[in-house]
Structure 1
């Protein structure tokens, strides 16, 4: 057999949401990139809930877009219904969510990949990592043992590459379980990747088993929607991408439906719980805490009389409806009985059974903050392989890993987003510093500075970083600077513009059910009153400009929450001080006297790059951090004395 070798810059293993963003980032930065997939017909496929965004996940999509990623633009073209969540609460937790036409989303992403210069799609199973031992002493001191040289596919062809990004999703040695029936396949019956895990283990990469699941899909013609509560989309629709013209997303939307489980449902589950692979001990992997199966809900919350069930369309091309809230691994006969107790589903017909899926993924403690593997130079990873869950988390990691792989090849500075700068920073930091004994899911509660990290200001926070790495054009960057200038100048104008406590003003206050003025006040102070906003004070503000809607939104939020924002900015200053205290890559924690054994073991495992990161590792307490800081200061003093 002839040996065939192809020379490329970057190999992307997997064409899910992580792989697509990673591949586009590398190709757009001028690197010859090949994205390998088990099925070219299932690029950016959604085997679980066909939606993008939602609480905190919407923040990630906006941040992906701000950095130059693609997810927001694609969902703007492929959504069936759009809704801004949590609007009764403050802007920090507002999150956009779109129900997707899953096939149209996949087709649109494939069109984008196929049209991208420097990017090739290859349907093939990557069976082996290729690498060589590290000879560079400086890299050895940083902990690297090997350097990636490429990948081999099942047919035997070798692709020599300067970087490899693993975006394998749930495909590594995956198996699907529905009761006693076990299928050795990937999600939705797709082919699994059975060979690569062994190569990863041989390379010194530690793997573990995780589990996730999905509900049944029903024939929509068998559902009685009159027994359910209709759920409508927003009017007007707000686009995900900062580059999408809002006029382009105003279109007729498809309804979703809300119903509930009941005691009959729960009784059937309880009576058959021993047939669930989760409770029968058949499943080895750990499942997601925050996206539990219906069995878990019934067992762990026995006092709940009912659970929400959302019935959502899979696309305009099909009658299939996704039964959100009732994922399961129970046998098909139990599933059918269980679903038919739910109002509206009494005569339902199952098109695709619910199932649990197990797969190999990365053990914690093996990643640099760049998402490069600590032991293998040039090997990056993203998505569910890193122990996370969700399309948005995967896409964010894919973009981040793709950018950093490109930066390494191009000899440029790595992209860094810390916890105070973005949800992506929170996501990456949590994956790098925490044990994460279950699939990681992004939530707003994980972000310490969420008032600063709103989905509405993601462009103001991160677009400049996208420009610096080369994914945001000069035109878009100039538009960002103009937007920031408009916001700042308008905020200052409103603070300086005063209105007096005269008769006409008191009449205006009375008309708007507001407390009369006792003295002159600024327009900014009026906006802080709950009955006023930027638009409804227009009649007493003749000097205002005709500003874009997104600028007006930022002006109002900046003024209303100025005190809270200032307080969080002060907290960020303290956070930054700890992040700037760097820890040498070759530190020997055995030399740090008075450090507790558990702390020493955890620090050795995770190898944090700075004191802030070290303080977030489980098992490392404030006293350990104090000991570590004193030790590092003593090293600096010793080095200064030598000089």
Structure 2
């Protein structure tokens, strides 16, 4: 392998690296995955779960494109929940509780079965760059491996520093050393770097907890799954999580350790995730709250290890222990390991193109926490896109970019490279202006054809999606074409306390009422007969119902997206000198010169660039 020239080398085998390696290899590129420990491929460093608000949509998108995260989430799941079911379908978000050990094992086995993929265990200490192009990597043993492109997915390992109370030591994750050398070289090459922080809670012995004092959190009665493929069936048995609360006494015990907290005594200077704060940060920022939720999450089917979601901390271990013992159900708790915080290097993502290739070094790609994001799902989606684009570049094919109206993945990457981030970036549904279009239920319809064109999604997967789309479209047309008498309609309407009708009308109009659902419509014999004769499954019924109920919203968002895409089609010349546009504000000129947007639409989303500045640019370009 040392004499080979690889098409793609992926550095790091976390969620980003695993997806990047799988994508590049499955697209026919000779790929090498280098990681410091092959036993920890796709390790769940923090909570044992995949999906959640907006994150679940991302996992579905990865799956639709032909990535592996959805498949592994299903094969290793111990609980499934569809979050936000009480809200509109744009907010529905799937989430699984995972078996941590099985998740990593399933990922490794999938990767080992992937053609064109080699593995090597060692630390990469630097890059080989010639004439502004990456041509390989150097390892800590002094070995050089040549490549046509390199994807860096270093996670929290770049100069990682772990903090527990007044102690700190180098490390990229508990029990693993930090990676050194790469940051320093990238800075020499002209890259700007920064520091970020994240944290994790204590892991405890589940045998030492009293669950009778907690509130059980079971999975869904009729669980679904992530992948659109039939690789697994929905869960028949599930493990419950449990919920409990902190108290004023717990908060007081935690406050006693604040003077030894690296977050408060100045030893940690970097910013942590705003939307997943440590317990000490929560009781400091939200001093008016007398309690906070804690979720006790099993780490797997058979292990007794429990993850205490909501109690992320870097306080001294004795403070963590004493405070947790005052939580209901934790009176006799035993630790497996304390919580800790970790600081690590990242590189502001405004230094990247939409393909995740760096602007400074040709053929070099960044994906995951190196770009300032937090979360397995955000990392995995970037890895997938970086792996795809690295393979396409080597194959001398057009790059693959998802627009904001096509996928949450498109929103994520556009936000990162256009706006940058100074704190760990997490995806939310509110970040997507077209979230009615970007639902978890239609990710396959949106993206499977794109994945098929890339060679990642199989023909079988494409055919399955097309059958679902055709069946749901025909079912919607059935509602538009089929009439119902006033008497029949009113029987259903009265049962739902909905206003009655006076004359015969189309079923579509009846179904569009907000308080009428598919179960109500199935009370009509014509509807039930159609479903049975056409053997319609849950996915088709759900898709048809959404298309009927949200037809107006979907149409409006599509029109808005079409208007935006007109600006996406107006390209800005490469290396355009904005300093010549004296009518434009100074801030806009500085920001535009730094980020070098590719289109007018991207330029309009840069912070500090006003509509007036865009008008100046359009006039200059003859528009």
Task: State TM-score, norm by structure 1.
Answer: 0.94
The yes-or-no answer on 1:384 pairing with 2:369 is yes
Instruction: Give, in whole Å, the separation in 1 of the partners of 2:223 and 2:292.
Output: 29
Q: Which residue of 2 aligns with 1:434?
A: 419
Which residue of the partner structure matches residue 90 of structure 1?
A: 88
Partner of residue 129, structure 1:
127
CA deviations on 1:149-174 (whole Å, 9 max, x unpaired) are 11111112211111100000001110
Question: Which structure 2 segments of 5+ residues have no match?
Answer: none
241, 245, 252: which one aligns with 2:237: 252
1:598 is matched with which residue: 587, 590, 607?
587
Equivalent residue number for residue 180 of structure 1: 166
Which residue of the other structure, out of 496, 502, 511, is the alignment partner of 1:527? 511
How far does residue 565 in structure 1 lie from its aligned partner after superposition? 1.1
CA distances 1:85-120 after superposition (whole Å, capped 9, x unpaired)? 111111111111111111110001000111111101
> Match of 1:234, SS?
coil
Instruction: Provide the secondary structure at the position in 2 that maps to 1:351.
Output: strand
For the 8 Å contact 1:85–1:95, the answer to whether it is kept is: yes
Displacement after TM superposition at 1:626 (Å): 1.4
2:204 is the counterpart of 1:218: yes
Q: Which residue is 1:455 aligned to?
A: 440
Q: CA deviation at 1:611?
A: 1.1
Q: Is the 8 A contact 1:53 1:98 kept in 2?
A: yes
Deviation string for 1:359-417 (max 9, x for gaps)?
11112420001100011111011000111000000000000111111111111111111
* Mapped contact 1:73–1:244 kept (Cα < 8 A): no
Matched, 1:109 2:107: yes
2:66 pairs, out of 65, 68, 71, with: 68
Distance across 2 between alignment mates of 1:109 and 1:411: 29
Instruction: Please give the alpha-carbon distance, in whole angstroms, between the structure 1 residues aligned to 2:387 and 2:231.
Output: 27
Give yes or no for the alignment of 1:156 onto 2:154: no
What do residues 132-161 of structure 1 show as CA deviations (whole Å, max 9, x unaligned)?
11xxxxxxxxxxxx1111111111221111
Give runs of aligned pairs for residues 267-416 of structure 1, distance below 5 A: 267-416=252-401
Partner of 1:559: 548
For 1:454-473, list aligned pairs within 5 A.
Answer: 454-473=439-458
Distance (Å, rounded) in 2 between the aligned partners of 1:539 and 1:307: 44
- CA–CA distance in structure 2, aligned partners of residues 519 and 201 of structure 1: 74
Counterparts of 2:393 and 2:505 in 1: how far apart (Å)?
54
Give deviations 1:204-255, integer Å, cap 9, x for gaps.
2221111100000111111111111011011221010000366x22221111
Determine the structure 2 residue equivalent to 1:207.
193
Residue 478 of structure 1 deviates from its aligned partner by: 2.3
Looking at structure 2, the residues matched to 371 and 506 of structure 1 have their Cα atoms a distance apart, in angstroms, of 56
Separation in structure 2 between the aligned mates of residue 393 and residue 4 of structure 1, nearest angstrom: 32
- In structure 1, distance between residues paired with 2:622 and 2:557: 28
Q: State the alpha-carbon separation in 2 of the partners of residues 39 and 616 from structure 1.
A: 40
Distance 1:509 1:619, change over 3 A: closer
Q: Which residue of 1 aligns with 2:50?
A: 52
Tell me the secondary structure at the aligned position of residue 360 of structure 1: strand
Gaps spanning 5+ residues in structure 1: where? 134-145, 635-643
CA shift, 1:512, in A, is: 5.0
Task: Return the alpha-carbon distance in structure 2 between the equivalents of residues 270 and 366 of structure 1.
Answer: 40
| CA deviation vs aligned residue, 1:490-516 (integer Å, no higher than 9, x gap) | 2112111111224x5544544454433
2-side partners of 1:356 and 1:444: how far apart?
Answer: 27
Report if the CA contact (8 A) 2:514-2:549 is conserved. Answer: no
Alignment match, 1:517: 501
SS of corresponding position for 1:603: helix
> Could you tell me how far 1:15 is from its partner in structure 2?
0.1
Q: Name the residue aligned to 2:459.
A: 474
User: Bigger CA drift: 624-633 or 85-94?
Assistant: 624-633
CA contact under 8 A between 1:383 and 1:397: conserved in structure 2?
A: yes
1:147 alignment counterpart: 133
Q: 2:483 aligns with which of 495, 498, 511?
A: 498
Match of 1:621 in 2: 610
**Cα distance in 2, alignment partners of residues 62 and 163 from structure 1:** 28
3-state SS in 1 of match to 2:82: strand
* C-alpha contact (below 8 Å) 2:127/2:137 kept by paired residues: yes
Length, aligned pairs only = 618
TM alignment of 1:414-429, pairs within 5 A: 414-429=399-414
CA drift at 1:129:
0.5
CA contact (8 A) 1:211 1:286 kept: yes
Instruction: Say whether the 8 Å CA contact 1:127–1:199 is kept in structure 2.
Output: no
Aligned mates of 1:538, 1:253 — CA distance in 2: 30
Per the normalisation by structure 2, the TM-score is 0.97
Name 1:138's counterpart in structure 2: none
Deviation at 1:603, TM superposition (A): 0.8
SS of equivalent residue, structure 1 residue 287:
coil
